């Protein structure tokens, strides 16, 4: 039995760039698609929100003189590009998916509603929800919290390139230790950057647990669903 029945999987755009440092690494993309297929075959309903940091981030654009709102809109378009890439990679291995866009852009994707996403998942398709929240000044982490709550997911699985939540950034501080579980309040009071504050606060207020794990190791998504304690659970 899978640990959760319906999941919201957050994939980082930045991780999609793999070793190449920009854009979409096809190897990483295909690995993600294969991992998703494995979990779909366990009977899990899957909603996905994917970031866009491998292509464009509004905040870094603003630092280079871009208008922040236009920059954020560029970032949201980047999430659509990544969503289409993932949908295509899933299709290539026989997995049906539906790209929904929170900003109207038919025929690229159907306009997002909670019910369209649920309908897709209930019919065995992967629902890929793009454009984040559709609003500037937000992130796809907040988009994931919002969509996870809306689609009544049992958990938000935050796939990252680290294997959980640490006392400090393990890439910078070798003495950092990992939590097996931690409360939302402790994440917020310790200022741990699991996700941005808005995203964490939304999960806290709506009781959506977050499971942080390393999605870049092939097989990890299935391990999480099988109940292996490989990451960190953030809970009430």
Residues that bind ligand UDP (CB under 6 A): 12-14, 51-53, 57-59, 71-72, 75-76, 78-79, 132-133, 135-136, 138-143
Question: 66 in helix, strand or coil?
Answer: coil
Identity of the residue, 62 or 226, whose beta carbon is nearer to ligand UDP in the bound complex: 62
The CB-of-12 to ligand UDP minimum distance in angstroms stands at 4
The CB-of-69 to ligand UDP minimum distance in angstroms stands at 8
The CB-of-158 to ligand UDP minimum distance in angstroms stands at 10
Cα 132 to Cα 140: distance, rounded to the nearest angstrom: 5
Per the CB < 8 A criterion, the answer to whether 49 and 11 are in contact is yes
Identity of the residue, 113 or 123, whose beta carbon is nearer to ligand UDP in the bound complex: 113
Q: What are the strands of the beta sheet with 181-183, ordered from one edge? A: 110-111, 97-101, 126-130, 45-50, 6-11, 155-160, 210-214, 232-235, 181-183
Q: Count the neighbouring beta carbons within 10 Å of the beta carbon of residue 110.
A: 17
Identity of the residue, 18 or 58, whose beta carbon is nearer to ligand UDP in the bound complex: 58
The CB-of-174 to ligand UDP minimum distance in angstroms stands at 24
Identity of the residue, 2 or 61, whose beta carbon is nearer to ligand UDP in the bound complex: 61
Q: Beta strand pairing status for 155-160 and 6-11?
A: parallel
Helix axes 197-205, 140-150, angle to 10 degrees: 10
Report in angstroms the alpha-carbon separations of 56 from 16, 160, 223: 13, 18, 31
Per the CB < 8 A criterion, the answer to whether 154 and 7 are in contact is yes
Identity of the residue, 41 or 111, whose beta carbon is nearer to ligand UDP in the bound complex: 111
The CB-of-25 to ligand UDP minimum distance in angstroms stands at 13
Ranked by CB distance to ligand UDP, the top (closest) residue is 51
The torsion angles phi and psi of 170, rounded to 5 degrees, stand at -65, -20
Identity of the residue, 22 or 94, whose beta carbon is nearer to ligand UDP in the bound complex: 22
The CB-of-197 to ligand UDP minimum distance in angstroms stands at 14
The CB-of-42 to ligand UDP minimum distance in angstroms stands at 25
**212 DSSP β-pair partners:** 158, 232
Cα 177 to Cα 170: distance, rounded to the nearest angstrom: 8
CA 67 to chain centre: 26
Identity of the residue, 56 or 184, whose beta carbon is nearer to ligand UDP in the bound complex: 56
């Amino acid at each position: 039995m899978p640990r959760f029945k319906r999941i919201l999987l957050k994939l980082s755009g930045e991780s999609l760039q793999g070793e190449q440092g920009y854009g979409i690494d096809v190897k990483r993309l295909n690995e993600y698609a294969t991992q998703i297929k494995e979990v779909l075959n366990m009977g899990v309903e899957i909603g996905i929100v994917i970031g866009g940091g491998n292509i464009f981030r509004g905040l870094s654009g603003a630092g280079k003189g871009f208008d922040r709102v236009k920059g954020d809109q560029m970032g949201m378009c980047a999430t659509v590009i990544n969503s289409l890439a993932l949908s295509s990679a899933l299709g290539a291995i026989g997995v049906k998916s539906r790209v929904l866009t929170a900003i109207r852009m038919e025929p690229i994707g159907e306009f997002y509603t909670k019910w369209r996403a649920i309908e897709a998942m209930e019919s065995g398709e992967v629902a890929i929800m793009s454009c984040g929240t559709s609003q500037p000044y937000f992130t796809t982490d907040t988009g994931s919290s919002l969509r996870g709550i809306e689609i009544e997911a049992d958990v938000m699985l935050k796939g990252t390139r680290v294997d959980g939540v640490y006392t400090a950034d393990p890439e910078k501080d070798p003495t950092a230790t990992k939590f097996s579980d931690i409360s939302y309040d402790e994440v917020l009071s310790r200022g741990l950057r699991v996700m941005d504050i808005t995203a964490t606060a939304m999960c806290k207020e709506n009781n959506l647990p977050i499971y942080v794990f390393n999605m870049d190791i092939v097989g990890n998504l299935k391990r999480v669903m099988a109940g292996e304690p490989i990451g960190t659970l953030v809970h009430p």
